[in-house]
Every structure is written in C-alpha cells, then in structure tokens.
Structure 1
C-alpha cells in the first residue's frame, strides 16, 4: 500500500538529489506530470516547514539545510555499525563483486549500505533497494536470525511470488533452505529473484540488530567462484568480529 502524498514528497527529494539544482514550480510539475495547484500546495507546505527555500528570488526551490540536519540526527541515533562501510569496500575490492549490508523490513530486505562492483556488468544495488526475503539469500540470512514465531508470522503474510524458476514458493521450502544454509554456514543465491544474478550471504548480527552481508554478481562470474567467495566473506566477517568483540 502506498500513500500518494508521502510518495510525492519522496519522489521530489529524489528529484533534487538527481538534478542537484534549484527547480521552479513549473519544472517540477512538468517533470512529474503533477497538477500545478497540488504541486504549489506541496512546495508551499515544505517551504513553510523549513524544508525548502529559494536560493534566489523566483529562482526555484531547493532543499534547505534543515533536511540534512534532520537526517543526520536520525542516523546518529541508529548508525550503521562502526567500520561496516570499510568492510564492504574490502569485500568489493577483493572479490570484484558488489558487497551489501541489508536489514529486514516486513517481508523485504532493505539495502542499508552498499559498495558496487567496478565491472560494467554488475549487481546494481543502490542503498534503499528492497528484495523479498523468501526469494533471496540475503533475505533468508535475515530470516534465520529471527525466532520461529516471528519468522512464521512473516512467512504467513508472504505472497510467495515466483520471480524465476529458482524462486522458493512455500514456507516449508524456505524453512528447509534456512536449515540447509545454517548447516552449511552460508546462504546461496542462484537467481531466485533476478535471473542470471547470484551470490553468497551470511548473517551479520551487530549491536542487537539483525543484518546480513551479501557478495553478489552475475552468475557467470559468481558461480564458478562460489567456494572462493564464501572463504573471503567468512574471513572478513571473522576478522571484523575479532576486532569488535
């Protein structure tokens, strides 16, 4: 379910992040195809609350410093754990593939920190991307950290959409794969959500929160190197835990 007004605010912020310049009411209304009257009200509300300002009179609107300050204060309250971005950079550099830190949100895994592969053909994983828990190695690594009651509740509400031929489409199949992965020590991704993409994931609980780490990329590169990727991920996870207790 999507609230249209909230979605419009988020799309507007994404617009400014992409264009990085002031925009007039006409620029914004034309870009999104929004009615000028509702666009005027939206911009006026954000301006009145201090989230937009006009750098030059009649020169267009732009996000005010208040927005960055608000985001910074939110991040400081629940920061991404120390040195995790450096860990992702090391994983991406050593493997040549995309490295991701993810957390659970309802029936999805949300990417909270990423470092993408330098290859032109790679796993595109922008921060904020969401992937279904049941269909991905990342998601199952997150599910594995939940107690049985919580996991069962999530799986009862899951639609089990079959994204590819490799998608697990029942709660029983997901539970079996979680058990197999626990015994193996890592979680396998082999195109269950996006065809031709695969990877290896591991649970990464930190500071009382459930995270998962993923190394992912095109199957033609990842599958022949699976044992190597597992070893690299395990080595770096063990080293991180040794440093931080």
Structure 2
C-alpha cells in the first residue's frame, strides 16, 4: 500500500536532487501534474516545519539544511561501516563488474551502496533501489540469514510474478534454492529478475547487522566466472573486514 501524501514528499525530494535549484509552486505543480491547492498545502506544511525555505524572496522553494542534519543524526546512531564501501571498490577493481551492498527491507532487498563497473555495458545500480527478495541472488542471500519462520512469512506474502523465463515461481522452489545455495556457500543470479543479467551474492553478517554483497553484470561476461568471483569476494571480505 502506497500512502499518497508520503509518496509525494519523497517524489519532491527526488525532484530537487535531480534539478538542484529552487522551484516555485507553479513549477512543482506543473511538473507532477498536482492540483495547485494540494501542492500549496504540501509546500506550506514542509516550509512551516522548517524542511523547505526560500533562498530568495518569491524565488521558489528549496530543501532546508534540516534534512542533512537529521540524516547525519540517524546515520551516526547506526552507521554503515566505512570499510564496506572500500570492499565494493576492491571488488570492482578485481572483477571489473558492478558491486552492491544490500540489506532487507520488508519483502525487498534495499541497495545501500554501490560502485559501478567501468565497462560501457554494465549493471547499473544506485543506492535506494529495491528488488524483490525471492527473485534475486541478493535477496536470497538475505533470506538465508533469517529464521525459517521469518523467511516463510515473507514467502507467503511474496508476489510470484514472472519477470523472465527463469523466475522462481513458488515459495517451495525459492526455499529449495536458498537451501542449495547455503550448501554451496554462495547465491547465483541467472537472469531471474532482469534478462541477461547474472551475478553472485554472499551473505555478510556483522554484529547486529545483516547484509548481502553482490557482484553483477551482463550474463555473457558473468556465466563463466562464477567460481572466480566467489574466490575474489571471499578473499576481499576477509581482507577488508579484518584490516
């Protein structure tokens, strides 16, 4: 379920991140095709709470520094270890493919950090991206760290939509794949969510935190290097986290 007002606030912040300039009520209403009255109410509420301000009189609204201050406080309470970004950079250097750090968010894997491959044709991944847990290697690596009860609860609610010809279509098949991959020690993606995209994911448990690390790229470059990627990822994780 999407709460429209909350979604509008998030869309507005993404708008400013892309345009990087103040915008008037009229510009915002036109861009989103929102009624002027509801746009006025949304902007007025955010301005009254100190989340928007006008850098120049009648020159349009812009996000206030309060956003950055709150994010710093939130991140300081439970930061993502800095060495994990170094891990992603090392994986890109050693594999040539895109590396991603993800965590579970409900029934999805949320990309927390990513470093993209230098190849022109590559897997494009940005922080904030959500992918279903049950149809991706990243998601299954995260599912594997949950209790059987929690995993079963997520799979009962999962939408088994066919994204590609190789999408796993039942909870039983996903559970079997999780168990088989746990025995292997890694989780392999074979285009179940995005056609011609392959990857390897490893679960990564830290004190009070559970992550997954993914290396992914076009299937034509990935499929013959799975074992190599697993070796590189294991060595890089041990090296970075023991430094």
Cα drift, residue 195 of structure 1 = 0.5
Counterparts of 1:80-119 in structure 2, within 5 Å, are 80-119=80-119
| 1:208-219 pair list within 5 angstroms | 208-219=208-219
* 2:161 counterpart residue number: 161
The answer to whether the 8 A contact 1:81-1:206 is kept is no
Residue 30 (structure 2) aligns with = 30
Give structure 1 stretches of 5+ with no counterpart.
Answer: none
Aligned equivalents of 2:44, 2:121: Cα separation in 1: 42
After the TM superposition, which of the residue ranges 228-237 and 184-193 deviates more from structure 2?
228-237
1:142-191: CA deviation from partner (whole Å, max 9, x where unpaired) = 00001111111111111221211111111111111111111111100010
Instruction: Report how many residues are paired.
Output: 243
- Report the Cα offset of residue 111 of structure 1: 0.4
Q: Is the 8 A contact 1:52 1:63 kept in 2?
A: yes
Q: CA RMSD in A?
A: 1.0
| Pairwise CA distance, 1:209 | 1.3
The CA deviation at 1:105 is 1.2
SS of match in other structure, 2:66? helix
Runs (5+) with no aligned partner, structure 2? none
The equivalences for 1:42-121 within 5 A come to 42-121=42-121
- Alpha-carbon distance in structure 1 between the residues aligned to 2:101 and 2:206: 11
For the 8 Å contact 1:198–1:219, the answer to whether it is kept is: yes
Deviation by residue 1:92-130 (Cα, 9 ceiling, x = unmatched): 122111110111111110101111112221111111111
How far is the alpha carbon of 1:226 from its aligned partner?
A: 1.6
Q: Residue by residue, what CA displacement relative to the aligned partner does 1:19-49 show, whole Å, maximum 9, x if unpaired?
A: 1111111111111111111111111111110
- C-alpha contact (below 8 Å) 1:112/1:127 kept by paired residues: yes
- 1:199–1:222 contact (8 Å) kept in structure 2: yes
Cα distance in structure 2, aligned partners of 1:93 and 1:39: 46
Instruction: Name the structure 2 match of 1:173.
Output: 173
TM-score by length of 1: 0.96
Equivalent pair of 2:187/2:202 in contact (CA under 8 Å)? yes
1:3 aligned partner: 3
